Amino acid sequence: MTEIHVSRHEVGGVPVFALDGPTAPNPSLGLTFRVGRTDETAPLTGITHLVEHLILPASIGQPVDFNGTVDELFTSLWARGDVDDLLAFVASVVGLLARPPLERLEVERRTLLAEEATQSLGGPRQGLALRFGPHGPGLSGYQEYGLRKVTASDVEEWTESRFTQESAAMWISGVPIERLEIALAGGGKRHVPVVPAQLDDVRTPAVYAYGSGTGVCLSMLGELSGTTVLALDALADALIQRLRYELGLSYSINWTTQPLSAMLTQLTVTADVADADVPKWLDEAVGVLDRLAGVGPEASWLERTKRALNRYDTEPGRATSWLAWCAESELLGRSYQTHSEAVAEREEVTADEIARYLGDARGTLLVLGPGTTPVSSGFEEYPMSSTRRVHGKRHRPRGWRNRLRRHLREVELISGDEGVTLVMVGGQACTATYDTAAVCLRRPGERTLVSHDGFFINLDCDDWVDGDAVFDSIDTRMSDERTVRMDTNGDRFEQVDTPAGESA
């Protein structure tokens, strides 16, 4: 195994992690900020993504290869090239943070809306939405509504408060530390990510049999520790062996983690499964998980996997990955850990520890799948109806023909001072109260209320008797701060994704 030697420095009040000894083939660096989707609110989702676009170069032919990402917790920028060009790249980013190029706001807004139109909110992102609703990490499973609302003043305020030296960390490889200059504005604070409680009505293990966007997705929560990677690898390898090579029920099985705080992560496994095979697939997958949670992986697997991870540490790109991990750990307030300490911790992980880890995660299991997904013994059905209804005026569908259609006789809209409840065929009901609703999405003649627990109440004014009065109440009670016009700039938005429930 090749040891990765890292030294910690501080430049301009920003912690910097430098790779010592042999470096990657090309000099590279990264700048990470502790701000991501989890820090936003539903009406302003996408503002961090917008800032990330604004502070990167806006033309082709740049002398460095660069990119940026925004995830649940971090905004990360990185570049590779000659040292002088990398230093100029950092200076450019810092300068754009000091004076955001607001003349590019509308171009980047349109670019991100085009990107959003092609992205899936399924799989891991949907798992977060179903657990947490339109709050914190759950916002990753919703559209970036704020792209239609964010103003230049919003961008300036968000940049000044979140992209500061207090929220930044950096890593460098092949770049002399003595040449590095970082002049980020101070005066902000490093925000500690707070994971909200799981939605009140969600009891796990649970099954959401209304589609996942990725076949079948297994979502669990687990502690971030030296056991995390080995535990997830053990589960994924066992699933691949059983479901791919022995039963042929899946071809592609993928797994990943999404850190949600310094101590908590989401673990997900996604697989392609034919709808007819889902019951068999899920029964076998849960059996694999239960076996591992009982006895852990075989000793031979554990030894072989540790050796493989040690070999991975010798690959050229591993050093920069470790540097980025050091920067993220710093921003989450974790105690600094050298690479050798992390490897030693990994080497000490036992099969029993993996079993306990997966046993704890098993209790948080949320299965996302198509309508053929069974709710097996020991699992709850994901709640598709609100437990609360508001009191107020009852509205029937408009038009006598609708009222005579038997299946619509039980459909009604209840509007009151508290909010609205939509009662659907079969008696299911979705409620949004004005004091807790996350956002109101507004189109001409239409309103969509996104409740605090993730239900979407889609309303067309012409569909309801006295619909105008209902809309007046919604527009009065939902403040401008919690309202997003979805028809901005003439863009078409024909439907709202419904990761945590749907009403029609």
pLDDT at site 435: 96
Distance between CA atoms of residues 415 and 474, nearest Å: 9
158-209 pLDDT, tens per residue? 999 999 999 999 999 999 999 999 999 998 899 999 898 999 999 999 999 9
What percent of the chain clears pLDDT 70, i.e. is strictly above it?
Answer: 93
CB 434 within 8 A of CB 419: yes
Q: Which residue has the higher pLDDT, 294 or 426?
A: 294
Q: Which residues lie below 8 Å from residue 90, measured CB to CB, with a gap of 6+?
A: 29, 31, 180, 181, 182
CB 121 within 8 A of CB 129: yes
Average pLDDT over residues 294-312: 96
CB 127 within 8 A of CB 112: no
pLDDT at site 24: 61
What percent of the chain clears pLDDT 90, i.e. is strictly above it?
Answer: 85
pLDDT at site 499: 40
pLDDT at site 498: 38
CB 504 within 8 A of CB 458: yes
69: pLDDT strictly greater than 90: yes
pLDDT at site 315: 84
pLDDT at site 453: 94
pLDDT at site 427: 83
CB 319 within 8 A of CB 20: no
> Strands, E, within 283-378: which ranges?
366-368
Q: Which residue has the higher pLDDT, 375 or 487?
A: 375
Angle between helices 351-362 and 278-295 (to 10 degrees): 130
pLDDT at site 381: 97
| Candidate ranges 22-26, 213-217, 252-256, 318-322; pick with highest mean pLDDT | 252-256
**R_g of the chain computed on alpha carbons:** 25
Positive or negative, the CA dihedral 495, 496, 502, 503 is negative
pLDDT at site 409: 63
399: pLDDT strictly greater than 80: no
Distance between CA atoms of residues 438 and 167, nearest Å: 27
Average pLDDT, the chain: 92
Q: Which residues lie below 8 Å from residue 356, measured CB to CB, with a gap of 6+?
A: none
pLDDT at site 501: 40
Cα 251 from chain centroid (whole Å): 25
pLDDT at site 328: 97
Q: Which residue has the higher pLDDT, 35 or 405?
A: 35
Q: 45 is written with which tokens?
A: 């989702």
pLDDT at site 398: 85
380-392 pLDDT, tens per residue? 999 999 989 999 9
233: pLDDT strictly greater than 50: yes
pLDDT at site 169: 98
pLDDT at site 239: 98
Q: 154 is written with which tokens?
A: 């919003």
Under the banding of pLDDT at 50, 70 and 90, the label for residue 79 is very high
pLDDT at site 374: 97
471: pLDDT strictly greater than 80: yes
Distance between CA atoms of residues 265 and 126, nearest Å: 15
Average pLDDT over residues 205-233: 95
Closest-CA residue to 254 (of 246, 243, 265) = 243
Residue ranges and CATH numbers for the domains of the chain are 5-179 (3.30.830.10), 206-381 (3.30.830.10), 393-490 (2.30.29)
pLDDT at site 10: 97
Helices (H), 198-298: 228-239, 278-295
Distance between CA atoms of residues 477 and 447, nearest Å: 13
493: pLDDT strictly greater than 50: no
pLDDT at site 491: 39
pLDDT at site 406: 52
Query: 444, exposed or middle or buried, with CB in 10 Å at 0-12, 13-18, 19+?
Result: exposed
CB 48 within 8 A of CB 197: no
Does residue 279 have a cis peptide bond before it, meaning omega lies within 30 degrees of 0?
A: no
pLDDT at site 181: 95
pLDDT at site 466: 94
429-454 pLDDT, tens per residue? 999 999 999 999 999 999 999 999 99
